[in-house]
Amino acid sequence: MINTLSGRFLVLTVIFVMVAEILIFLPSIARFREEYLLARLERAQIASLNLLAAGEMIAPEVEQELLRNAGVLNVVLRRDVARELVLSGPLPFQVGQTVDLRDDRAWVLIRDAMSRLITPEPEVIRVLGQPVMGGGLQIEFALDSRPLRAALLDYGRNIFWLSLMISAITAVLLFMAVRRVLVMPIRKLVDQMDRFAEAPEDARRIVTPASSVVELRAAEEALSAMQSQLSQSLKQKERLAQLGGAVAKISHDLRNILTTATLLGDRLESVDDPTVKRVGPKIVNSISRAVSLCEGTLAFGKAEESPPALTRFDLGTLAGDIAESEQLAVAPDVVSIGTDIPPGLQVRADPDQLHRVLGNLVRNARQVIAATGVPGEITVCAREEARAWWIEVVDTGPGLPPRAQEYLFQPFQGTARKGGTGLGLAIAAELIKGHGGTLTLKETGPEGTTFCICLPRDGILEIV
């Protein structure tokens, strides 16, 4: 129960009520003590005035009876300059404390009351006060501390039990109110969320806002909007998944058909007919682009890339292999591919995935530069900063067109060359993200393009 909202509210209510009662108890017990002493002062004054009015000596028995009725041990009355012992009796203990009732400061009253409560040793208290109704200049009396302490303890016990009863009643009422107003609506909302989670595609299970409490109504409206959006997204995802499965099957069969067409197209090159020689290469190139599109669609249609298998390897060696492989596809005087990586730079990453990423970036740059017919350069470089490693692929090509920049890293849209699918950059960005890094376009323009790979140094890249 203590772990529930209503249970914790119950405990906090009891604690707060008890704290409030303690804050009330301190001035209350001080006031009770002051009134107790003032009552004894009035009785002592009445007894002394009666004795003075008689004008004659009284028997010791009568004097003791007056002191017992007043609840004091002796009375000293000062009506002018002289002090007069009006009533006297034996003192059972020595005088241990002097109290001046004319000092009515709150903290003094509270201090003296609490001091009396925690002092169990009996003693005689000497009390000074102002006589009521102008019955003299000062009245002084002594009393035993035991009856006073007993009265304070009895008053404290009554206050404690009263406070406890008030706390219990208040806590129970608040507990019931909180359960009715807050806990039950929240539990109902949770039940509706669980019911929706069982079948989120069922629009009938979306929460209908109905609470009269402003905060709960806002929560219901937000939850309803979120559930509606989620339900629509799930339906859309399901349709897209079905469409993707169909496209994958079609692409698979179409790739097989186009592969056969490619083989047949290759045989056209041996035909001596001028028209065939002129049209044949174009047909073969078109079929090759169609095959490439089918293969890219099948590759992108996989559920997800496998997690990177991290291992330590030399980044310079990997980049050198990529540069050498891509250089074989083009003449050095057309495109020059090189690296600028510090010797001995060791990286901890997935070599196959990083090879695919860098290979795709270098290949894209090579194809774009070669298509322009203007000689260019491609450089793979790396540098170290405080908390990250940066790997850049820099080329001197013509830059990316505006449409390619707008849809960069989006499949089938962010391509910069004719016949491209835009899948390469989308897959590359996904692979780098799996390493905890980012792939971004740093700059592009007529002077060239720079793609930047940022990998954090916490276990991803290290230098030895």
Question: Do the domain assignments include residue 101?
Answer: yes
Residues 65 and 158 in one domain: yes
Question: Do the domain assignments include residue 176?
Answer: no
Residues 73 and 47 in one domain: yes
Q: What is the pLDDT of residue 402?
A: 82
Question: Do the domain assignments include residue 208?
Answer: no
Each residue's pLDDT expressed in tens, for the chain with a length of 464 residues: 567 777 777 778 778 877 887 888 888 888 988 889 888 888 888 887 777 766 556 777 777 888 888 888 888 888 776 677 778 888 888 888 888 888 878 888 888 888 888 888 888 988 888 887 766 678 888 998 889 999 999 988 888 888 778 877 887 887 788 778 777 888 888 888 888 888 877 777 888 888 777 888 888 888 888 888 888 787 777 776 776 666 766 666 666 666 666 666 666 666 777 776 666 676 766 676 666 666 666 665 554 556 788 888 888 988 988 898 888 878 888 899 999 998 888 877 888 888 889 988 998 899 889 888 899 999 999 987 777 778 999 999 898 888 777 778 776 555 555 555 566 788 888 888 888 888 999 899 889 999 999 887 764 444 33
Q: What is the pLDDT of residue 462?
A: 42
The dihedral sign for the CA sequence 247, 253, 255, 258: negative
Identify the domain containing residue 12 by its residue range: 5-170
Q: What is the pLDDT of residue 425?
A: 83
Answer whether 113's CB lies under 8 Å from 27's CB: no
Question: Do the domain assignments include residue 49?
Answer: yes
Which residues are bridge partners to 453 per DSSP?
A: 391, 439
Residues 262 and 355 in one domain: no
Q: What is the pLDDT of residue 417?
A: 57
**Distance (Å) of CA 254 to CA 31, 168, 310, 385, 445:** 99, 79, 36, 48, 38
Residue type, 185: P
Residues 316 and 293 in one domain: no
pTM value is 0.43
Answer whether 136's CB lies under 8 Å from 79's CB: yes
Closest CA to 407 of 422, 419, 424: 422
Among 300, 324, 351, the domain boundary falls at 300
The domain total for the chain is 3
Residues 287 and 349 in one domain: no
Residues 331 and 408 in one domain: yes
Residues 294 and 316 in one domain: no
Residues 292 and 332 in one domain: no
Question: Do the domain assignments include residue 191?
Answer: no
Question: Do the domain assignments include residue 320?
Answer: yes
Question: Do the domain assignments include residue 196?
Answer: no
Q: What is the pLDDT of residue 461?
A: 41
Residues 143 and 266 in one domain: no
Closest CA to 434 of 309, 269, 272: 309
**Distance (Å) of CA 247 to CA 6, 61, 189, 261:** 55, 120, 41, 20
Residues 80 and 218 in one domain: no
Tokens representing 163 are: 């406070």
d(CA 383, CA 393): 12
Residues 151 and 226 in one domain: no
- Could you say which DSSP state residue 268 is in? G
Question: Do the domain assignments include residue 71?
Answer: yes
CATH number, domain containing residue 362:
3.30.565.10
Q: What is the pLDDT of residue 77?
A: 83
Residues 143 and 122 in one domain: yes
CB count within 10 Å of CB 30 equals 21
Tokens representing 223 are: 């939850």
Which helix (H) or strand (E) is 112 found in, with range? helix 106-117
Q: What is the 3-state secondary structure (H, E, C) of 154-197?
A: HHHHHHHHHHHHHHHHHHHHHHHHHHHHHHHHHHHHHHHHHHHH
Among 245, 278, 300, the domain boundary falls at 300
Q: What is the pLDDT of residue 134?
A: 64
Among 273, 300, 327, the domain boundary falls at 300
d(CA 157, CA 26): 13
Answer whether 349's CB lies under 8 Å from 460's CB: yes
